[in-house]
Each structure stands twice: as structure tokens, then as C-alpha cells.
Structure 1
Amino acid sequence: MLPDLLSACLGLILLCWFVSAEPLRFKDGKFRIAQFTDLHYGEDEFTPWGPIQDKNSDHVMHSVLTAETPDFVLFTGDTLTGNNIDSNATSYWKYVLSPCLQHNTPWAHVFGNHDDLSQEKGDRVTLMKYDQTFNLSYSVMGPKSLFGVSNYFLPIYGEHSDKAEAVIYALDSGGGNVDEQVTQEQINWLVTSYHINLNVYGPVPSILTFHIPPPEFEELFNKVECTGYLNNTILPLASKGLYETILSLPNVHLVTTGHYHENDYCCPTKNKLLCQGRHSGYGGYSTIARGSRIIQLEKDKLQTWIRMENKDVLDHLVLKYD
């Protein structure tokens, strides 16, 4: 058992997070998440096709939100091609959020390698602080001692309970104006947070998300039967021990990433699904149709599938918890 002081500290942290926001809650025993990844808004803003592709990305999000009516949206990086935007990227950030605002769907952001402000002013901290000004934002500025800005976790409570029944963990894998990496300190923070939550809430189902996957995900794809595509080679990431840590956390039942636009695989291992989201945006390279990975947490199982822009459903998987 961890010391009671850690439990008390955790409670205070969560209280501060949710002073101005209602706790995330299951509804009818389910909590459904839509993952939007690699939207790349603001890319080539002064070309004829730049604004057109942003409008096409709007259509993807509206289509998915209408078809799925999710309880929550996870933006898992490269929401902007912010380091190519001449003016302040917060105007594009607000544009990206418009579909969620119109559908009244709360969200949280995990930063990717292109989520920077323009070269002239601002940084990733500025962008995160701006996101937090919206009432529907559940994004959290991670501990200042850690690399990156989007290292945090979000508890999901029971429909009529003050006890969390699931947890979402997020890590910042950097990129852009900072290194692409997940540091040992971040991994230590993840393990510590996991065990604190285990002590407080018990073995509740959890998911983990970050933008850039480690190369072990491709090795797994080549060993087991997976759904979806792996068309882009996964390059090395400075994240020694991350993959082994994921495997060592028994209640983290799904990991989902982004970054590689033509991958949308989901591979089973050790009562887990290691996945990548479907490329959601029309910005950035890709020859595949756009869509969103849907993740549905339930009491005894987890489900995931791809919802396409044209409303088709692909690659439905069910994972029953051990």
C-alpha cells in the first residue's frame, strides 16, 4: 500500500483540475472516445488548397461526431502545422475546436511534433494555456519538472459515483522545437501515477495515448495478427524502456498513437491493444481515406473501431479484461 499522504495529494490534484469543469462520467455503463490525429490545420495557409483542406478536415470531424456522438474527443498530436503558420497559431487552434464546440463535446490535447506556434512568437506552453481557456477543454498542463507540456491523466467517474471507473493517461513525445522523445522521468511519472491511482481507485481499465509510437509497435505488427494498415515504417524514438513499461502495467488495456499518416493498425498483446489512430486531417501526406479511431470503455470490456468520413465502420475489435 502506498502512504496515505500520496492518496491525499492525488485528491488535491484532482480537485484543482476539476474546479471549473464537471468530472468526466460514464453514461449507461459506457464511455466513448473519438480520436482525431494529425489534422494539420494551417498547412500552406496562403495557397489555394490550404484553406480547402482545412474545410475538408472540418467535414471529417463533423461526420464522426454526428455518427458516433462520443462522450469525449482525444486530439493526439499534429493538430496544427503550427511551425509553418506565419501569424499566431491560436486562431487556427480555435478553428480546429469549432466542431467540438458546435457538438458540445469535451476534449483534451496531446501534443505532437508540429504543435508549435509560429517562428515569430509563442511556444507550446502558450498553446496549451490557450486551449485551457475553453470550458470544454480537459487538457492539463503537465508537471513543470517533466519534458513536454501534455503529461497528465484524466479519471472517468461512474455515472452516479465519486469513484473513478477508468483513467486516461497522456504522455508528451515532443518534436518540432524540442526533441522527439519520452524521457525516463516521464516513464517514472507514468508508473508512479498508475500505482497511485491503483491504490485509490483499484484496478480500473485505463488507456494511454501519445503522439509518436516506438518501433516495437512495428515489430509486434509483424509477429501477431493485427487489424488495419502499417504502411509507414516506424522510426526509432528516444524512449528507452517505454514499450516494456507499457507491457508491465496490466490495467492499461489500450495504447493509441498517431504521427504516421498511413498507419491505422491495432495489435493484441498481453491483454492489451496497441494501436494507432486513423489519419483524420486533410493536411499532411496521405493516400488513405480519412477517419477516426473510436474507443469505448465498458465495465468488463473495451471496444475499438474506425469510423470513416463516409460513415463506414472498419476493424471492430473487442477486448475482454482478464
Structure 2
Amino acid sequence: MAANKLFVILATAYGALGAATPGEPTIADLNPYPAKPRISFKSNNTFKLTVFSDLHFGENPWEDWGPAHDKSSVALMARILADEKPDFAVINGDLVTGENTFRENVTLLLDQIAGPFNAAKQPFAVTFGNHDNEPNITHAEEIAHLQKVSPFTYVRAAPDGVGGDSGPANYWVPIYKKQSDKAPVLILWFFDSRGGFHLKPNSTVGVPDWVDASVGDWIQSETIKMEAAWGPADSRAAVAFVHIPPHAIQALQSSVSSDKNPGMNADTLGNGSVQDSASVGNDSPFWDSLVANVPNLHALVSGHDHGNEWCAREPNKKIIFCFDKHSGYGGYDSEGWGHGVRNFLFGTPDPKAGVETWIRLEEGTTKARVTLDSSYDPRN
């Protein structure tokens, strides 16, 4: 980053340039959700995160099986929320299959998705996928509607100029040890990998399928503000979510083993299954900035590839990557894959302590349990 640009960021962070942008939190109280309850660890110092992915509501609404799949997905969400009782939940992209829905009633699908969270009074955040940008719906419209119909969602849009073409859902959620604490101990980051098609009838104009380069600068500026408000970045942990896996993850698949990297490995990574499918390097500003500016990053988590469940460490940046579990009955599937979620359990607020993660299937079976810590899958 140019020196004069960095100076402006630092000056803004420390208040030298006056008031913050309207709608943005001030450095004195860097809380983007002043009207919502603070999310915190339990009194026993644990924190559970449950991640749904690839719900794909709205497929083939003109046939019986489409609405039936949505009904099954609602039942799955309600059951898992009741069983797991997470402290926070995430939907990691492809809420709807936008190309199959009708524009005049697509928001009714979002009402159905929000329903189980509202009924359980479950706080949740969202990333959006390539199927959420289609001629019948956009990421921006989904953000606005979810904010309207659910008081429990923490989804929000990035400031103007961050996210590029059709990628507004870049934001973070602070997690506190105690609700009364000034500084959080964990940051959940959410990034918009875009993809899909532009909002126009019969559109064939594709949206870029990677996190825009502007997000790299935004990550740096946000972390500078966090340090100004809360102290050294090393005193906080992080988990990041993005729907389409970064391009660097493709190289991991050939060395995934069932012992070190348990979980299904049924989807071959390649064009369209990772970010930057057009040309290698477009997602590098985001990828490089995330690693450089966010210490104690326990995992970067993606969906998109319904047949993969494994976690592995990327050898160059040393970041652990995890696939979600395909949750919805919509979207492509195969016999025996099943539907479920990925759980993360923090056993302590210590930002350097390992985090346990596993796949939970709808009926309650668990598998692919590993602990993400400094010794996990070193890949030297």
C-alpha cells in the first residue's frame, strides 16, 4: 500500500481526521452493532459455531420436488439448531438457486430460510454465493431483505467502494469473552466471492467469481482500526468465511488423506470450483491481505463444492482451510452424501488455543472430527 494511503488510514483510525463515515462505528466504540446484543462466550468459557451451507432454496418451483426439498431443508435447520444450540450460526453461501426462482416471489424463500433462526431466536450471519447473484436476485437485495425480516441476523454490507462488482457482503462480527468487555476475543470475518450473473432478464453477463481486490485494502484498514481501539491484533482470534474457495486451495486436494484430512473428498477442484476461475491471481490481493493482517486465523471456511468436507493446511500461507457440509436438499447431490453442518467449538477464549471442528449429519451422526491447532496437518 502506498505510504500516503496508509497515513490516511492511520490518521482516520486514531481520530485525527474527525468523525467517522456515517453508519460506521467510531474508534472509541468499534462496535458495528450498537442496537444488537453482543455475541459472547458462555460462562464456562466455551463458544460453539454452527455452519450451514448451500441451502439452494427455490429449485424447480414448478415441480413437486422443488418445494418438497425446501420443506426438508427447513426441517433440517430447525432440528440442528434445537440439537446443537450454537452460540452463533452461519449460512455460508448459495441461500437460493436464483436462476430457478421467480423474481416476483424470490424473497419468500428468504423468509423461509430466516424462519428457523427467528423461531429459535438464533443470531446468525451470512455469506452469499454465485447462485445468489442471478437475474432474479442479488447479494445486495438479500442483505436488505434478511435485515428486514430477521432481528437475529448480523449480516451487513461493506462501505461503498468495497467489494467491487456485485460483491457488497464484506463485514465482520465481534465475539466477546463477556458482554461487558470493551474488546472482543474473536472476530468472524465474512467475504463476498461474488460469481453468478447480473440482474437483468436472460443475462449472460457473468459477475467476477473472486473476492475483489478492494477487499484487501479494506481488511488492512479495518485491522488498523481494531488495533487502535482494542490493542494488538495478536490478542484476538479469527475465523473467516467465503463461499467459493480461494484458488490456492486447489493445490491441496491431491495430497488430502483420509487419516489427516477426514471427511468426504468427492468433488474435484478446478475451473468454477475455486475463486478466480478465469485466470490465476485475481484473488491474490484478498488472499495476501487476509494472511498478512489477521493473526490467529484458525480457519478459512468455504462451501460451494457439495461433495467435500475436509480440512487441510495451505503450505505457502500456512492457513488451515475447511470445507463446510452441504446442508440443503437443493443443489447437486449424490446418494450417500447426506446433509448436515460443520461445527466449531472453542474451548477457551485464548486466541492461540486450538479449535475443535467436526461434521454433524442431520440425523445426529458426527464424523471428521479434528482439532485445528499449530500441529494440525503441517505440510512442510
TM-score by length of 2: 0.77
| 1:110-140: CA deviation from partner (whole Å, max 9, x where unpaired) | 1101114653xx6332221111122111001
Does residue 1:240 correspond to 2:293, yes or no? no
Residue pair 1:38, 1:259 contacting (<8 A) in 2 also:
yes
Residue pair 1:111, 1:149 contacting (<8 A) in 2 also:
no
1:242-321 alignment, distance < 5 Å: 242-248=286-292, 249-269=294-314, 272-287=319-334, 288-297=337-346, 298-299=348-349, 300-320=353-373
Task: After TM superposition, give the deviation of residue 221 of structure 1 in Å.
Answer: 3.4
Q: CA RMSD in A?
A: 2.4
> Could you say what secondary structure the match of 1:105 adopts?
coil
Unaligned runs of 5+ in 1: none
1: distance between equivalents of 2:305 and 2:193? 14
Structure 1's 52 and 127: CA in aligned 2 closer, same or farther, altered over 3 A? same
Unaligned runs of 5+ in 2: 1-6, 198-206, 277-281, 376-380
1:10-25 alignment, distance < 5 Å: 11-12=25-26, 17-25=32-40
| 1:257-279: CA deviation from partner (whole Å, max 9, x where unpaired) | 11111111111357642101000
**Stretch deviating more after TM superposition (162-171 or 226-235):** 226-235
**Stretch deviating more after TM superposition (81-90 or 145-154):** 81-90
> Could you say what secondary structure the match of 2:141 adopts?
helix
2: distance between equivalents of 1:56 and 1:128? 24
Structure 1's 176 and 58: CA in aligned 2 closer, same or farther, altered over 3 A? same
Task: After TM superposition, give the deviation of residue 4 of structure 1 in Å.
Answer: 6.5
Structure 1's 27 and 261: CA in aligned 2 closer, same or farther, altered over 3 A? same
Does residue 1:222 correspond to 2:238, yes or no? no
2: distance between equivalents of 1:62 and 1:271? 36
Give the counterpart of 1:194 among 197, 201, 223: 223
**Stretch deviating more after TM superposition (42-51 or 295-304):** 295-304
1:79-98 alignment, distance < 5 Å: 79-86=95-102, 87-98=104-115
Does residue 1:106 correspond to 2:123, yes or no? yes
2: distance between equivalents of 1:194 and 1:60? 36
**Stretch deviating more after TM superposition (56-65 or 195-204):** 195-204
Residues paired across the two proteins, number: 320
**Stretch deviating more after TM superposition (236-245 or 253-262):** 236-245
2: distance between equivalents of 1:268 and 1:123? 32
Residue of structure 2 equivalent to 1:33 = 49
Does residue 1:158 correspond to 2:177, yes or no? yes
Structure 1's 199 and 226: CA in aligned 2 closer, same or farther, altered over 3 A? farther
Percent identity over the alignment is 27
Residue of structure 2 equivalent to 1:6 = 13
Give the counterpart of 1:213 among 237, 245, 262: 245
Structure 1's 153 and 294: CA in aligned 2 closer, same or farther, altered over 3 A? same
Residue pair 1:83, 1:176 contacting (<8 A) in 2 also:
no
Query: Which residue identity lines up with residue 238 of structure 2 in the other structure?
Result: S
| 1:86-117: CA deviation from partner (whole Å, max 9, x where unpaired) | 13311110101111111110111111011146
2: distance between equivalents of 1:229 and 1:150? 29
Structure 1's 136 and 321: CA in aligned 2 closer, same or farther, altered over 3 A? farther
**Stretch deviating more after TM superposition (148-157 or 291-300):** 291-300
1: distance between equivalents of 2:56 and 2:242? 16
1: distance between equivalents of 2:87 and 2:31? 22
Residue pair 2:13, 2:228 contacting (<8 A) in 1 also:
no
Residue pair 1:36, 1:280 contacting (<8 A) in 2 also:
yes
TM-score by length of 1: 0.90
Query: Which residue identity lines up with residue 212 of structure 1 in the other structure?
Result: I
Task: After TM superposition, give the deviation of residue 63 of structure 1 in Å.
Answer: 2.3
| 1:59-96: CA deviation from partner (whole Å, max 9, x where unpaired) | 22122212210011111110111232113311110101
Residue of structure 1 equivalent to 2:142 = 127
Residue pair 1:81, 1:116 contacting (<8 A) in 2 also:
no
